Amino acid sequence: MSAVTYLEAISQAIREEMRRDEAVFLLGEDVGTYGGAFKVSAGLLEEFGPERVIDTPMAEAAIIGSAVGAALMGMRPIAEMQFIDFITCGFDQIINMASKMYWRAGMPVPMVIRGPSGGGVKGGPFHSASPEVWFFHTPGIKVVVPATAYDAKGLLKAAIRDNNPVLYLEHKLLYRMPELREELPAEDYIVPLGKAITRREGEDMTILTYGAMVHQCLKAAQVLEQEDGLNVEVIDLRSLSPLDREAILESVKHTNKVLIVHEDTLTGGIGAELAAILAEDLFEYLDGPITRVAAPDAPFPYAPPLEEAYLPNADKILAATRKLAAY
């Protein structure tokens, strides 16, 4: 068995789940004939036919609305957003329908909305979004963000099998990143929703992060060990909603300093909520200010030098960790 990319891991998960459960189907723009904008669904139409791999019009509200209706009827739809930026067009269906249905009508809505998110690929303001925080804020929908091939597959399988709407944010920069290739278990596995993972153990500081930033943080952590003699713990949250509070609190209790890193903009971001949780629950365990590294509060830029300046990276993380370590 050969090592697969992050993208292939997603592809495998969809294929295997569709084989396992007839209720699982895929709908979205260009997912069928074209095989998906990034070729995630290449070959699925041939294997499962047009009734289970459905090319839709360019109408996100219709895609998500159809998925909600199908889920209510007992199906397990996977709705693809060609770029996650356009999820805003289907916002009402998610907020007012999918996430509230169980509370309104007692009927579960087992569906997955997935799509490429994140920047670093010179995609400009409409193809680089990190929209997690809008849904993180919304009760009734789960939000997961895989950072590795293993998690990409395991989390997507878990999301498909979950009885709640799940927003599955894949990071397009990671799709074909060679260093993320890994051999996946031959047997069926899932990565449970709501469980973080410690990517690197350390006692001097905790970095809480997710998605593509996990790799930037690991890079910074390595430099810190070599140049500063600091052992930094890096926790990949994987699930933003529900959060693995236990893992977060346990680590910070141990290290007493915490840096939060996310690619999304700073204000009202995931980091803000994490900071609030830590301040409320662990105030007297903190040996330094809860610190955040995130994108500035501005729309995603197009010009490459601006994008470079806009996105958090290992250097920015290094500077923040050093300041926090010296605090």
Helix, strand, or coil (residue 166): strand
153's tokens: 């597959």
The smaller minimum CB distance to other proteins, of residues 262 and 292, is found at 292
Nearer to other proteins, 270 or 324 (CB): 324
Shorter beta-carbon distance to other proteins: residue 268 or 288? 288
Is 88 one of the binding residues for other proteins (CB under 8 A)? no
Residues 270-309 touching other proteins, rule: CB under 8 A, are 283-288
**Shortest approach of other proteins to residue 217 CB, angstroms?**
22
Question: Between 102 and 285, whose beta carbon lies closer to other proteins?
Answer: 285
CB 17 within 8 A of CB 157: yes
Closest contact distance (angstroms) between CB of 288 and other proteins is 6
Please identify which of the residues 127, 171, 215, 262 carries the catalytic annotation. 127
| Residue carrying the six token digits 């470079």 | 308
Give the span between the Cα atoms of 227 and 319, in whole angstroms: 13
> Closest Cα to residue 155, out of 206, 114, 208?
114
Q: Which is nearer to other proteins, 121 or 282 (CB)?
A: 282
Write out the H or E segment, with its range, that includes residue 24.
strand 24-28
Site size toward other proteins, by CB under 8 A: 10
One-letter amino acid at 316 equals K
Shortest Å, Cβ 201 to other proteins: 18
**Burial readout 65-81 (b: 16 or more C-beta within 10 A, e: otherwise):** bbbbebbbeebbbbbbb
Ramachandran angles phi, psi of 25, nearest 5°: -145, 165
Taking CB under 8 A as the rule, does residue 256 contact other proteins? Answer: yes
| Six-digit token string for 160 | 């498909």
Smallest separation, CB 86 to other proteins (Å): 44
Token pair, residue 38, equals: 């990034």
Q: Which stretch binds other proteins (CB under 8 A): 58-66, 183-191, 225-233, 319-327?
A: 319-327
Q: Which amino acid is at 205?
A: M
Q: In angstroms, what is the minimal distance from the CB of 200 to other proteins? A: 21
Question: To 10 degrees, the CA torsion angle through 306, 311, 315, 321?
Answer: 140
Query: Is residue 198 close enough to count as binding other proteins by CB under 8 A?
Result: no
Is 127 in the active site?
A: yes
Distance between CA atoms of residues 136 and 122, nearest Å: 26
Q: Which residues bind other proteins (CB under 8 A)?
A: 256, 283-288, 323, 326-327
Query: Active-site positions?
Result: 127
